[in-house]
Structure 1
Amino acid sequence: MLFTGGYDSEMAIRAFRPASIMGVDMFFLICGFVIFLSSTKGKPDDLQTQNPLNFLVRRLVRIYPLYLICTLVIFGIEFNGERQTGELLFRSLFFMPTLNATGPNIFEPALTVGWSITYEVAFYSVFALSLAFGKYLLRVILIWALIALIGMALLEGNYWLDPTVVPPDWSAARAIFPNPINSLFLIGILTGVLYRSDVHFGSATPAMLAVAFSFTCCVAQYMSNWNIAHGMTGVGLPLAALFVSLVMAEKTFRFVVPDVLVRLGNISYSLYLIHPIAIWIAIWINVDFNLGNPFSGWLLVAVTVALSLGLSVMTYAFIEKAFGSWATRWCQHATDWVLESCAQQISGWMPQRLR
């Protein structure tokens, strides 16, 4: 959008803005699904859950190192004493949101695309609390959904599904946890429940029809530029239908996924956080070397995409994968030691007959 006419150009509004909004909402759906599958085992009516502390440690080790580095880099690049302040950096690094943007972003951190990571961390905290209830995990999640997504809105005197609506007297944290955009995480979890259950398509034909129909709805909404907005009142509903149909179809027949898409999936988190830095690098190259035309427009887009992919491959290999694996093992040992020490202390305090 930046290199092809600006954020308000027809090209931006019709071609790129729908893609950016659909991408974030699909990310939330996938996140809920993957987190449920990776932290639980067994059928929905007999769940075995991961330790909440282990879950939080593993998730933060997975996402935080790269987020920290990208936030510090973009803060150094964009520092101007106005938007990029020390307070904003502090809030960004420790996920302490403040109302500085319109919903559903609500909080726009130093690394602007990190607003979705703030929602992800909020979801992690709620999910970790739910894991503490073991096999009753799904009931606790349902209670959170009823209280946060419906009860809070009813207390305000109305009900909305529009994630851009934020009551003026709410704090940022109060606005993030019950924001209707969180329903996408919940649908992801419910999709995981369906995937683990015995529910399935009778044959490949209805599965393929469901996928084709939901995919057509998404494409039609994209092409018509109709109701392009975050959440279930916007692009969320057709995307949820597509996601559920794809996951359930996977139980009937296996999709053949090209290796290049698998590799793009592997580096997708790096790609999401790195691309704002790649944009700045492309601009610097253009300005410092005074390249001008034809090094602008679509050529600059191509250079930025290439830079983003190249940097993402490196950060995935050396930060997400290599450092992440080491940090996960170290944190796992530390967490196990803390839990074991706490268990010994508690056992020592208990009367003999209760041990």
Structure 2
Amino acid sequence: MEQQTAVLDRSAIRDDRIVPKGKDEIDALTGVRGAAAVIVIAYHSYPAADFPYGISHLVARGYLAVDIFFVLSGFVMALTYGSMFRNRVTLPSFFTFLMRRVARLYPLYITFLALRIAYSLAVYGSLQVPGGWFAMNLPMPVKDIIANIFMIQSWGVAKAVTTPTWSISTEWGAYFVFPFIVGGILFRRTAYAMLSLLAAATLIIAAGALTGYDGMHHNGALDAYDGRTFIPMLRCLGGFTFGLLTYRLYQWPPARRCAASGIGWAVLAYLMLGLLLHLPDQLIYPAFPLLVLCLACDRGALARVFSCKPLMQLGVLSYTIYVIHNVWIGLIHWLIKHLPSTMPTVVAQTMSAVFLIASLYAVGHVLHHWVEVPGRSIVRRLGDRTVAWLRPQAQPRALSRG
């Protein structure tokens, strides 16, 4: 376990940048994370019709950017933690992994949740406030709050207090599965990987099919977001498994050479063409793991595009702005509605977009450096101390892979 922990430390995600062991930062993957965050924010904040032709098609399917997050998450977990579970899953390694993920997700998450609870109670005296800015409107306040505190709301349990956190809850669920499947997917025979590929595809197809029967509004087959059903979890697990498989392919030198040869532009062209032609979500989906694979090779013009400094900065702050951006939507809609009465529509829309980007970046920067980073350090120290206490008591037998 000591050797595995050392590998983990050298392969850390330094300052939210994706860094494989013994290599430079994979700038393009940090950048694509920033691009995906921008697409999600645009999708939630503006009607797609407000954008020029082509871009409007991208924004209209902006919910699919979350699937890029899922695939990227699986890839990064395999890159960073896969070797910990190559042979077996022990209690110390399992706990170390989960505490590292808690350290990454929880400080900002719980701070923002606490602020919304405090605001709702202080201003309205209730957690059932329809239409109140920053306030909550929870159908079952006690159940919903408890589920959200433990990040299990989107396991078919409850409503997400802050809407975007449904995906964080599903990723938290995927982290519990990860240690028991990653060894087989990365290090066993090819047949095991092929079965995993079939399982991942089945999960994505099932999620897309089931949205037609859940009685909710969806902008596309994979627009599954309400954690009171189990469909979002299927969507996440499918994408996460695709990410693990993408990393296995990345480890194969012929695949890396092929991915670095310029086919990333073809993948991106297929993705944009699929959006323009309104192809079904399930047909567009294969572009996501292929794009991650190509950008992971970090070579060529496409990698340089996604490695530009603005996207890199957004990639570093992507988790923060993703969690908090939902509370900006009402204000942006108000600006879009009222500013055109005092200035040309194009100017009003440009000003609202600049305000959205600048304010989210500023607030995100503050929260990242004053909440996320110090909170992460505190949780990691607590986790390391607990693992140090667990290790001498750990039994030599491994936990079952199930």
TM-score w.r.t. structure 1 length? 0.71
AA partner of residue 94 (structure 1): F
Report the counterpart of residue 305 of structure 1 in structure 2. 357
Where does residue 163 of structure 2 map in the other structure? 112
Taking the aligned partners of 2:336 and 2:257, their CA distance within structure 1 comes to 56
Q: How many residues align?
A: 320
Task: Identify which of 208, 226, 234 aligns with 1:163.
Answer: 208
2:238 matches 1:183: yes
1:218 to 271, 274, 280: 271
1:252-298 deviation per Cα after TM superposition (whole angstroms, max 9, x unaligned): 999442333322211111111121234456679999xx997459544
User: In the TM superposition, what are the counterparts of 1:128-277 in structure 2 within 5 Å?
Assistant: 128-130=179-181, 150=202, 160-163=205-208, 165=210, 172=228, 175-177=231-233, 179-200=234-255, 202=257, 207-222=260-275, 224=276, 226-227=278-279, 229=281, 233-247=282-296, 249-250=297-298, 255-256=303-304, 257-277=307-327
Secondary structure (helix, strand or coil) at the match of 1:41 reads: helix
Deviation of 1:70 after TM superposition, in Å, equals: 2.1
Q: Distance in 2 between matches of 1:60 and 1:316?
A: 15
Question: Percent same amino acid among aligned pairs?
Answer: 17
Q: Shift of residue 118 of structure 1?
A: 1.7
Task: Specify every segment of 5 or more residues in structure 1 that has no aligned partner in the other structure, as ranges.
Answer: 101-105, 154-158, 348-355
CA distance in 2, matches of 1:72, 1:142: 43
Structure 1, residues 141-165: CA drift from partner, whole Å, max 9, x if none?
8777767875xx8xxxxx9444351
Q: Does 1:68 align with 2:68?
A: no
CA distance in 1, matches of 2:45, 2:250: 42
Match of 1:10 among 46, 49, 58: 49
User: What are the superposed Cα offsets for residues 99-149 of structure 1, whole Å, 9 maximum, x if unpaired?
Assistant: 98xxxxx96401101111122111101003346889868998877776787
**Conservation of the 8 A alpha-carbon contact between 2:186 and 2:193:** no
Match of 1:321 in 2: 373
Aligned partner of 1:124 among 171, 175, 179: 175
Q: Distance in 1 between matches of 2:41 and 2:315?
A: 25
1:84 aligns with 2:105: no
Q: 1:323 to 1:332 in 2, by over 3 A?
A: same
Q: Is the 8 A contact 1:21 1:228 kept in 2?
A: no
State the match for 1:351 in structure 2. Answer: none
Q: In 2, distance between residues paired with 1:272 and 1:21?
A: 13
Q: Which residue of 2 aligns with 1:330?
A: 382
User: Residues 324 and 140 (structure 1 numbering): CA distance in 2 closer, same or farther, change over 3 Å?
Assistant: farther
Q: 1:47–1:265: structure 2 CA closer, same or farther, 3 Å change rule?
A: farther
**Contact 2:98–2:175 (CA under 8 A) maintained in structure 1:** yes
Q: CA deviation at 1:91?
A: 1.9
Q: Find the partner of 1:36 among 74, 78, 82.
A: 78
Residues 277 and 259 (structure 1), Cα distance of their counterparts in 2 relative to 1, 3 Å cut:
same
> 1:324 Cα shift?
0.9
- Give the aligned partner of residue 17 of structure 2: none
Task: Encode CA deviations 1:279-322: one digit per residue, 9 max, x unaligned.
Answer: 456679999xx997459544223212211111111111112222
Once the two structures are TM-superposed, the CA of residue 211 in structure 1 deviates from its matched residue by 1.0
* CA–CA separation in structure 1 for the residues paired with 2:174 and 2:185: 17
SS at match of 2:101: helix
- Larger-gyration structure (1/2): 1
If the length of structure 2 is used for normalisation, what is the TM-score? 0.64
Q: Are 2:152 and 1:96 aligned?
A: yes
Does the C-alpha gap of structure 1 residues 302 and 4 become closer, same or farther in structure 2, counting only changes over 3 Å? farther
Give, in angstroms, the shift of residue 201 of structure 1.
Answer: 5.2
